[in-house]
Structure 1
Amino acid sequence: MPLSADPHIVVLVEGRSDAAAVAVLLKAHGLDGEGRVKLVPMGGVTNIARDLRTSREAHPEAVVLGLYDVAEERFVLGALRRSGVPLEAPVDLVDHGFFVCDSDLEDELIRAVGTAAVEDALDEMGHLDRFRTFQYQPEWRDRSLTDQLHRFAGSGSGRKVALAERLAVRLDAATTPPPLAGLLDRIAQHLATSTPTHP
């Protein structure tokens, strides 16, 4: 998606696959035009303090939102506190624009579309035969299909990003996972009330 030098919204996500899925949904919802939303893959949530700071320095007028995994909440809390956001327990990070995935975005997508749709997406990518072989590996043979799909998604170069895009395309209003739906709603709200940067 095109990036503006002055986006209205910056969205921090953990990695490239998260960014790919969000980009698909922004386009599907008509929220990707004119570089209004900038996606920042952080390369891991431990970089959130750095990326939160640099995003605010580079785009001081932009709203910074984020998507994170439930196990990584402490990093988000710490980054927000260090940036000057007053947080007192109990904290609902949704109030501060950060939406939590359980357990991560890939897991949310797999549960949302169902395992049959994930296998269909792997077939489209030409990876279904590899997945069948993977299923029979001793350490994965007795695991659930969801666990197998989740592990396989992240085991090949580029596979995680490509699969995230294909699963995101399969989402609709009824199946979009709550953290993604919440993020999209918040983006739409901010864009509806932001001042246009172009005449």
Structure 2
Amino acid sequence: MALGDAILVCLTERSMTGYELAKTFDTSIGFFWKANHQQIYAELTRLRAKGFIQGREVEQSGKPNKLVYTLTSEGKAALRRWAAQPSNPPASKDDLLVRVYALDSIDIAPLCADLMARLEYHRDRLARYERVLKKRFAHGATSLAETGKLLTLRLGLRYERSLSEWCEEALDTISTVARLGARATDGESVAGD
């Protein structure tokens, strides 16, 4: 998937300015597809050049004019082609997990501080997702479009809850092992190599 595909998906909901798209990324699709505002604006230029979106200038009194982007029929066709392709499982790269894996070779205090920061991060995201669930889906989903968003949100809730629980478990386990003075030093592989 490319950023352009994510932007096309956003524009299926409604026409938006670049600013509105960036805000949409900040509050919805950006929870699972990261892009900064500069990347979004650059991609809008590329999508417009391909004919996938069109921009309509809207005059504003006392403010600069704004450009509102709309999905074109070519853009809808490109979106359908993209969606018909098989998806790839996401690549996982997490330096925190590498540090935990190397627990017997590193200082525990900085690792625990990092785990605590990560725990707070996942708790915050979980709370944000729960607010979205209550605000947007108090009565469930009533359309296919809402169903897709609700299913995505539910996965996000499970993911953040699971990672929060894992961080708590890691902190508790490391604390217990450290208190007991049991620190593995034999270099034996966890994977049983």
In our comparison, the structure showing a higher alpha carbon Rg is 2
Q: Taking CA–CA contacts closer than 8 Å with sequence separation of 6 or more, which of the two structures ends up with the larger relative contact order?
A: 1
TM-score w.r.t. the length of structure 1 is: 0.23
